[in-house]
Amino acid sequence: MPDTTHFGFQTVATADKAGRVREVFDSVADRYDLMNDLMSGGLHRLWKRFALARTGLRPGQRALDVAGGTGDISAGLARQVGREGLVVMTDINAAMLANGRSRLVDRGIAGNVLYAQANAERLPFAAESFHCVTISFGLRNVTDKQAALASMAQAVRPGGRLLVLEFSRPVLRLLAPAYDTYSFKVLPWLGRVVADDEASYRYLAESIRMHPDQETLRRMMQDAGLEDCRYHNLSGGIVAVHLGFRY
């Protein structure tokens, strides 16, 4: 791995990035859901619903939600696998994981969900353990994305799939200028006014621009050992759902 990497638009020591990302999410954890609603106009709920409709899960199966945040995807997975199934929700950030666990318990989701603080690049699970592995709006914050994809792919059972929901590159030319204005003007302003944290939301906007585009991420999933990799653009490519399968 190279000695330096990106943290938003900044170049930082590779060894320092995880700590810098942890500071961001420690700061935003308590207002994360409110800010998601404000930033996306509620669209993030539709994006997650679209992704959940493509898990292929059935009652009694096992799912892994990596970088599970405040638990929206884990909650959907828990409903899909039912009482006889199992969902494991992980996050590298303890504050986000605790927030997610509290939210799921408050929603009455318990008994078929386990929680583990874990690094997506080195997941502590046996190979071929899960019918579906998901990561939602978390991959762009990972230091070594290829290592994370390989670690997640290894955890997928034959016949299962990896699902990545992430911000991507707009495919509509007329959308790009407005999207840039929104990302670099409105989002930091919302962060300052609502969360008293302009810097974290500036980083989040920058991290989206540094994330691989749709086709690059598809190839990275293939390199991780997955097959039939494909993607669906949502909201003009602002968000994409990538799928890869293990046969």
pLDDT level of residue 172 (50, 70, 90 thresholds):
confident
CA-based nearest residue to 24, from 149, 146, 185, 198: 198
User: Which tokens is 102 given?
Assistant: 């509290």
Rounded to an integer, what distance in angstroms lies between the CA atom of residue 29 and that of residue 229? 32
pLDDT in the model for residue 160:
98
pLDDT level of residue 148 (50, 70, 90 thresholds):
very high
- Ranges of H-type helices in the chain: 14-28, 32-40, 43-52, 72-81, 94-106, 145-154, 175-181, 187-194, 198-210, 214-223
* Range 4-245 classified under CATH 3.30.70.100: no
User: Which tokens is 220 given?
Assistant: 């990275």
Average pLDDT on 134-138 reads 96
Pseudo-torsion of CA 168, 171, 175, 180, nearest 10°?
A: 40
Give the CA radius of gyration of the chain: 17
Beta-bridge mates of residue 15:
none
